């Protein structure tokens, strides 16, 4: 059994959060089909914009078809550059304004004030309009956080390691420390990621969570199925973000090869989606 910080086991208990695109409620369907190259992410404020890419509308071929946005996966760099331009155009942000990090499956969240590579981390935050925060994912979740009161945003990459380390609460803490955000003012969205339906993990992964809040489903002996999206939703709630302000996409990357890349489903040879978040 794996317990949350309250001491109550969360294994086998799935708590469903709000629905897609910043709207929806428990029991409703997840995100609909993408709008071409991207899903828009609505964080409840017209001055804050977000987007999550699909695999549609790009120029890559083979296992990277077609909108691969990951360098270093074996795709042609020029194709990835063109795909990045197309995603930016579809999402509505300048491709030259993007800030990125070298992702390492950790919990560091770095502040940025301009575009470019910010260093090694798995999250970024800013209060500077026009700076586009961006991360890459294949089965991991992207966590979008926005404070419309203090005009600050954070974007995180949350795989099982980041979830076990609590990168969502770390981002809430950074927004509070650097920009004066109150957790109660934050709106959040959890992107498509691999679902518990397709994500069985073993005891080392289970034990890595310790007392960290998580949502587990039963599996064969010595294993469990981890719900990354709902675990991050639960952790954000416990960090003070109101449940009604947390949206969950509800799409499993492994179950939707027509829309999404999946590292596990495709045995490691696949593309990457990109999440982007910015203040207008």
Q: What is the mean pLDDT of residues 12-21?
A: 35
Task: Give the H/E segment covering residue 187.
Answer: strand 187-190
- Given this model, what pLDDT does residue 5 score? 38
Residue tagged 């709000």 (tokens): 18
Check pLDDT > 80 for residue 26: no
Check pLDDT > 90 for residue 22: no
For the stretch 122-173, pLDDT in tens is 999 999 999 999 999 999 999 999 999 999 999 999 999 999 999 999 999 9
> Do you find a cis peptide bond into 66, omega within 30 degrees of 0?
yes
Of 9-23, 81-95, 202-216, the least confident: 9-23
In a domain, 10, yes or no: no
In a domain, 121, yes or no: yes
- Given this model, what pLDDT does residue 29 score? 53
CATH of the domain at 51: 3.60.140.10
Check pLDDT > 50 for residue 117: yes
Q: Where are the alpha helices (DSSP H) in the chain?
A: 77-91, 160-165, 167-179, 203-208, 228-238
Beta bridge partners of 39: 52
> How long a stretch of residues is the chain?
280
In a domain, 2, yes or no: no
In a domain, 172, yes or no: yes
Q: Please tell me the distance from the alpha carbon of residue 19 to that of residue 185, in angstroms, as a whole number.
A: 19
- Grouping H, G, I as helix, E, B as strand and the rest as coil, residue 62 is helix
Beta bridge partners of 270: none
Q: Please tell me the distance from the alpha carbon of residue 140 to that of residue 270, in angstroms, as a whole number.
A: 14
In a domain, 3, yes or no: no
Of 5-14, 72-81, 166-175, 254-263, the least confident: 5-14
Task: Give the H/E segment covering residue 110.
Answer: strand 109-111
Angle at 191 (CA atoms; ends 115, 238), nearest 5 degrees: 100
In a domain, 209, yes or no: yes
Count of domains for the chain: 1
- Given this model, what pLDDT does residue 30 score? 77
Q: Please tell me the distance from the alpha carbon of residue 158 to that of residue 180, in angstroms, as a whole number.
A: 23
Determine the structural domain holding residue 73 and report its residue range: 38-279
Q: 267, 201, 261, 258: which is closest to 231 by C-alpha?
A: 201
Residue tagged 């949502």 (tokens): 215
In a domain, 125, yes or no: yes
Question: What average pLDDT is seen over the chain?
Answer: 91
Check pLDDT > 60 for residue 12: no
- Given this model, what pLDDT does residue 24 score? 31
In a domain, 236, yes or no: yes
- Percent of the chain whose predicted confidence (pLDDT) is above 70: 90
Q: What is the mean pLDDT of residues 31-52?
A: 95
* DSSP letter string, 218-240: E-STTEEEE-HHHHHHHHHHHTT
């Amino acid at each position: 059994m794996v317990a949350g910080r309250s001491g109550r086991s969360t294994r086998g208990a799935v708590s469903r959060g709000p629905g897609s695109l910043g709207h929806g409620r428990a029991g409703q369907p997840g995100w609909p089909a993408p709008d071409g190259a991207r899903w828009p992410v609505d964080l409840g404020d017209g001055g804050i914009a977000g987007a999550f890419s699909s695999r549609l509308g790009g120029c890559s071929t083979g296992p990277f078809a077609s909108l691969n946005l990951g360098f270093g996966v074996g795709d042609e760099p020029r194709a990835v550059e063109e795909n990045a331009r197309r995603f930016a155009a579809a999402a509505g942000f300048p491709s030259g304004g993007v800030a990125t990090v070298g992702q390492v499956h950790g919990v560091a969240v770095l502040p940025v004030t301009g575009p470019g590579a910010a260093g090694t981390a798995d999250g970024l935050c800013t209060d500077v309009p026009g700076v586009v925060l961006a991360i890459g994912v294949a089965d991991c979740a992207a966590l979008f956080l926005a404070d419309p009161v203090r005009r600050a945003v954070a974007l995180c990459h949350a795989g099982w390691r980041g979830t076990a380390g609590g990168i969502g609460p770390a981002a809430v803490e950074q927004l509070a420390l650097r920009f004066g955000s109150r957790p109660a003012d934050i709106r959040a969205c959890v992107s498509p990621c691999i679902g518990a339906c397709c994500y069985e993990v073993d005891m080392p992964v289970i034990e890595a969570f310790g007392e960290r809040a998580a949502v587990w489903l039963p599996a064969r002996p010595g294993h469990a199925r981890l719900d990354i999206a709902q675990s991050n939703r639960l952790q954000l709630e416990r960090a003070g973000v109101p449940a009604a302000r947390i949206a969950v996409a509800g799409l499993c990357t492994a179950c939707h090869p027509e829309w999404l890349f999946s590292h596990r489903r495709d045995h490691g040879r696949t593309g990457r989606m990109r999440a982007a978040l910015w203040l207008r």
